[in-house]
Amino acid sequence: MKRRDFILSAGTSFLTVAVSSVLAETKPKPTNPTSPQKPDNSLLVQWLGHSCFLFTGGGQRVLVNPFRAIGCTAGFPLPKVEADIVLISSQLWDEGAAEGLPGNPKILFEPGAYDLGKLKFQGISIAHDRVGGKRFGMNVAWRWAQAGISIVHLGGAAAPIELEQRILLGSPDLAFIPVGGGPKNYNPQEAKQALEVLQPRIAVPTQYFTSAADKKACELVSVDEFLKLVKDKNIRLIEDNKLRIRAADLPKKGTLIRVFDYRNLLEKS
């Protein structure tokens, strides 16, 4: 990997299918070559496994939490994708393995405010365990806006969101919340509480048990355990690991729960 610019600073059986959806087709529509094309103001969200996502929009690519293939991520292909910016929530191998990435991305891994020109990021410190970070250290939750959509990725948060953290996290359009439990992440009930605090327009559960996990080395539970607690929400399984979102299509009220399908990821591995 080339020299990197490190920036330092201070299956789902329970799913119900809803009729309404903010899912837009990722297949491009045919255009008239004689007419000018309108700029694509959408955000493409691609799940790469566990808590790793690639966000493409506004002329920027943001990769969050690349991992090594170990434990709960053992069966996922490594997320070796090009990005302009990489966000890391901790130094743990399942969410902080930035080595070997292609290109020369900027890598953010500490809490603080970052102005990178086209994008501005806020890293918020939240304990990675239930004992104030004494066991697994501190996790960095990330907030930024891209393609007109405000995003919060909680990483591997395990502690309740306090008032100061709540202010920094804001009211996101799109929130990624760990739900699988274990000693390092929210369990389903804690994830529901975080959902109620943030009240995002769209919530995506992360860090739960999948068939890609090494059963002997993964303490997480299925996403179904979380979905049972939020069955009053609009829940939908996205039959792909990609979702395209436009700010104009966001719901005016309430929260949509969107769960990605990881099976095509395993087929590629």
What architecture is the 5-10+42-112+120-268 domain classified under in CATH?
A: 4-Layer Sandwich (3.60)
> Tokens 């992440």, residue?
185
At position 99, the amino acid (one-letter code) is: E
Give how far Cα 197 sits from Cα of 48, 56, 70, 187, 228, Å.
26, 27, 32, 15, 18
Q: What would the two tokens of residue 23 be? A: 């899912």
Domain boundaries, the chain: 5-10+42-112+120-268
- Residue 67 CA to residue 88 CA, distance in Å, equals 10
* pLDDT at position 124: 98
Q: What's the confidence (pLDDT) of residue 96?
A: 80
Q: What is the pLDDT along the chain (269 residues), one digit of tens a residue?
A: 444 444 443 344 444 434 344 444 444 455 554 555 556 789 999 999 999 999 999 999 999 999 999 999 999 999 999 999 999 999 887 878 888 899 999 999 999 999 999 999 999 999 999 999 999 999 999 999 999 999 999 999 999 999 999 999 999 999 999 999 999 999 999 999 999 999 999 999 999 999 999 999 999 999 999 999 999 999 999 999 999 999 999 999 999 999 999 888 886 65
Which residues have CB under 8 Å from 255's CB, separation 6+?
195, 199, 200, 201, 202, 203, 233, 234
What pLDDT score was predicted for residue 264?
81
What 3 state SS string does the chain have?
A: CCCCEEECCCCCCCCCCCCCCCCECCCCCCCCCCCCCCCCCCEEEEEEECCEEEEEECCEEEEECCCCCCHHHCCCCCCCCCCCEEECCCCCCCCCCCCCCCCCCEEECCCEEEECCCCEEEEEEEECCCCCCCCCCEEEEEEEEECCEEEEECCCCCCCCCHHHHHHHCCCCEEEEECCCCCCCCCHHHHHHHHHHHCCCEEEEECCCCCCCCHHHCCCCCHHHHHHHHCCCEEEEECCCEEEECHHHCCCCCCEEEEECCHHHHHHC
Cβ-proximal residues to 36 (8 Å cutoff; 6+ apart), any chain: none
**Contact between residue 122 and residue 143 where contact means Cβ atoms under 8 Å apart:** yes
